[in-house]
Amino acid sequence: MDLSYSAEYEKFRGEVKAFLAGSWPLRGDEAKLPGEKRAALFRERAIAAGFLARSIPKRYGGSEQAADVLKAQIIRDEFARARAPGEMAGIGPSMLVPTLLEKGSEWQKERFIAPTIRGEIVWCQGYSEPGSGSDLASLQTKAELRGDEWVINGQKIWTSGAHRADYMFCLCRTEPAAQKHGGISYLLLSMKQPGIEVRPLRQMTGAADFNEVFFTDARTPKDWIVGKRGEGWLVSRTTLKHERNMIGDAANALATFQSLVSLAQRTTRAGKPAIQDPAIRQRLVQLEGYVRSHQYSGYRQLTKAAKSQDPGRVQLMNKLTSTNIGNEIAKLALDLLGDDGLYEPGERTLGAGPRSNAQWVGQFMWSLGSAVAGGTANIQRNVIGERGLGLPRDAAASAKG
């Protein structure tokens, strides 16, 4: 594994730095714009300069640059260092856009990708259902083709952001007679229509990020299907792959750990900074070992990708490793807080910046839920065991079909 960059890539890093120096933060009247508008204006310029949306063709609103994982990493590093807005975050840009690029039809790409990466339309994901749990393929929401429309009836649950979404990409059972994995289709639909009811679910953090979504004769056009009829399970695996990559990014774990160190520095124990306590230092060192291992595993995968080599089975571990580390970091933070851990949880933040005590409480609670997102920890262990180690299929899953 070679972690150094060649002269060619260092030259590219200089180009990125020069662009950032002249473009971020915005100046003059533009600096007075609301935060979202400032970010949108900067992203538009970064796309035009070829630094964002690099894998997306220009006809779909991207900058259409040649694939280069090292340049992509340099851009992420330098944008983070300058605290400049990077790629639009969220389910639409991170999960649906790459799925459409791989599996979508031409008109779907032209209609949906550009406004999604610009943040003009917001998506939610309709996968989970009551009673399905981790056995996603047992879902029961039905879509029946009537003329030129799919008519949808059923219920989804744990739908992040459904209350503010413009569209949903969802899995529906369209072939009742087929075996469960073969009877599912991947549909796009508008959330702004009669027949869709969104009910927020209150979390223990006090926030309501998730929702129940009820469909009563909701409709979507016949050609708003991604992939072929009955092959939605295969399309969904493409989306899940990108979701797990998003959750498993080592950069998030490293940023959260750095914030934990800051907490240990400002928190006192027996009149001294907690970071001077040998027991706390031991736990921090252990955690840093996990974080750095995860980070360098990412570098190893990056190096292989740069050489057009298969990153191998280790990438199956990224999401599980990341969520485990996140929970361990949050548990130590809660121990450092002591009685302050009884605070009402605050809104979770990203990045290495300082967190309030209330935000650390929120971070701990969120870390429990993140182990479920993108497939539960148990499902991840099954994937590692079966696909990575070649072990027999899980007996319970095999019995269900």
- What does the alpha-carbon distance between residue 221 and residue 103 come to, in Å, rounded to a whole number? 18
pLDDT tens for residues 291-304? 999 988 887 887 77
Distances from the Cα of 83 to the Cαs of 39, 40, 253, 354, in angstroms?
11, 14, 17, 15
What pLDDT does 244 receive? 59
Distances from the Cα of 187 to the Cαs of 56, 217, 240, 314, 379, in angstroms?
22, 15, 15, 32, 24
Average pLDDT over residues 100-123: 94
- What does the alpha-carbon distance between residue 83 and residue 79 come to, in Å, rounded to a whole number? 6
The values of phi and psi at residue 7, to 5°, are -60, -35
What pLDDT does 101 receive? 92
Indicate if the pLDDT at residue 399 is higher than 60: no
- What does the alpha-carbon distance between residue 343 and residue 135 come to, in Å, rounded to a whole number? 36
- What does the alpha-carbon distance between residue 49 and residue 306 come to, in Å, rounded to a whole number? 22
Q: Give the 3-state DSSP-derived string for the chain, with helices as H, strands as E and coil as C.
A: CCCCCCHHHHHHHHHHHHHHHHHCCCCHHHHHCCHHHHHHHHHHHHHHCCCCCCCCCHHHCCCCCCCCHHHHHHHHHHHHHCCCCCCCCCHHHHHHHHHHHHHCCHHHHHHHHHHHHCCCCCEEEECCCCCCCCCHHHCCCEEEEECCEEEEEEEECCCCCHHHCCEEEEEEECCCCCCHHHCEEEEEEECCCCCEEEEEECCCCCCCCEEEEEEEEEEEECCCEECCCCEHHHHHHHHHHHHHHHHCCHHHHHHHHHHHHHHHHHCEECCEEHHHCHHHHHHHHHHHHHHHHHHHHHHHHHHHHHCCCCCCHHHHHHHHHHHHHHHHHHHHHHHHHHHHHHCCCCCCCCCCCCCCHHHHHHHHHHHHHHCCCCCCHHHHHHHHHHHHCCCCCCHHHHHHC
- What does the alpha-carbon distance between residue 88 and residue 120 come to, in Å, rounded to a whole number? 11
Q: pLDDT category, 286, cuts 50, 70, 90?
A: very high
The amino acid present at 205, given as its one-letter code, is T
What pLDDT does 347 receive? 67
Task: Return the active site residues.
Answer: 243
- What does the alpha-carbon distance between residue 68 and residue 161 come to, in Å, rounded to a whole number? 32
Average pLDDT over residues 180-191: 92
What pLDDT does 255 receive? 82
- What does the alpha-carbon distance between residue 212 and residue 306 come to, in Å, rounded to a whole number? 42
pTM: 0.76
Q: pLDDT category, 116, cuts 50, 70, 90?
A: very high
Instruction: Tell me which of 48 and 373 has the higher pLDDT.
Output: 48
**Is the separation of the CB atoms in 90 and 164 below 8 Å?**
no
Indicate if the pLDDT at residue 328 is higher than 70: yes
